[in-house]
């Protein structure tokens, strides 16, 4: 599989809580790829948590940092990249994402809500109505997530290993032809 991919990066996109970080790490291991999580890079580079950044520079400031990280990461090959759920919002990010293969992990709001009910690390969910917020974010973002090369549906009983396996099995069907020089 790794040789079939020829070093092409895998970008995982989808709503917060769907499992991008967890599954990205597994896929990297399977492929012998490096693993990058854009949120982690932002936190390491700034020395601040995602919550702190949202509080200090706002969502707009965070999005700018996210685009900076993505633009740098896409210069490398042989990486699996777990993105933040909102990476799809900025048009310029798509130019970077399309350097690689884009995988959309798609789960129902109910599943995401249950997973993140006790989680305090997603600033956008610190809302009086977190489930309603998830619903409206998903509705706003679905047309954007739909631009992925691969659409993987995630259900309650799917383990991270099941999902990683499904992605690896589906990749040969969506590989883009490589330009030969």
Tokens of 139: 């509705």
Residue 90 marked as a ligand binder: no
Residue 38 marked as a ligand binder: no
Strands (E), the chain: 10-13, 34-37, 79-82, 101-106, 150-153
CA distances from 91 to 7, 8, 63, 173 (A): 25, 21, 11, 26
Q: Is 84 in the site for ligand S3P (CB under 6 A)?
A: yes
Candidates 27, 28, 96, 122: give the one binding ligand S3P (CB under 6 A). 122
- Tell me which of Mg ion, ligand ADP, ligand S3P, none is bound by residue 106, counting a contact when its beta carbon lies within the kind-specific cut-off of 5 to 8 angstroms: none
Q: Is 21 in the site for Mg ion (CB under 5 A)?
A: yes
Residue 122 marked as a ligand binder: yes
* Cβ nearer to ligand ADP, comparing 83 with 175: 83
> Residue 124 and residue 110: Cα distance in Å, rounded?
16
The distance of closest approach from Cβ of residue 117 to ligand S3P in the complex, given in angstroms and rounded to an integer, is: 14
Q: Is 57 in the site for ligand S3P (CB under 6 A)?
A: no
Residue 39 marked as a ligand binder: yes
């Amino acid at each position: 599989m790794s040789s079939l991919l020829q070093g092409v990066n895998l970008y995982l996109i989808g709503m917060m809580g769907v499992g991008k970080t967890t599954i990205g790490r597994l896929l990297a291991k399977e492929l012998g790829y490096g693993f990058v999580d854009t949120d982690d890079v932002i936190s390491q580079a700034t020395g601040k948590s995602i919550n702190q950044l949202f509080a200090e520079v706002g969502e707009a400031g965070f999005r700018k940092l996210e685009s900076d990280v993505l633009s740098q990461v896409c210069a490398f090959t042989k990486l699996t990249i777990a993105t933040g759920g909102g990476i799809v919002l900025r048009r310029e990010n798509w130019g970077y994402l399309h350097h690689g293969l884009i995988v959309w992990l798609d789960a129902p709001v109910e599943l995401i809500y249950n997973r993140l009910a006790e989680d305090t690390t997603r600033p956008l969910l610190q809302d009086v109505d977190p489930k309603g917020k998830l619903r409206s974010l998903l509705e706003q973002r679905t047309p954007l997530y739909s631009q992925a090369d691969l659409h993987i549906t995630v259900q309650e009983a799917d383990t991270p290993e099941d999902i990683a396996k499904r992605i690896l099995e589906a990749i040969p069907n969506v590989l883009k032809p490589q330009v030969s020089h």
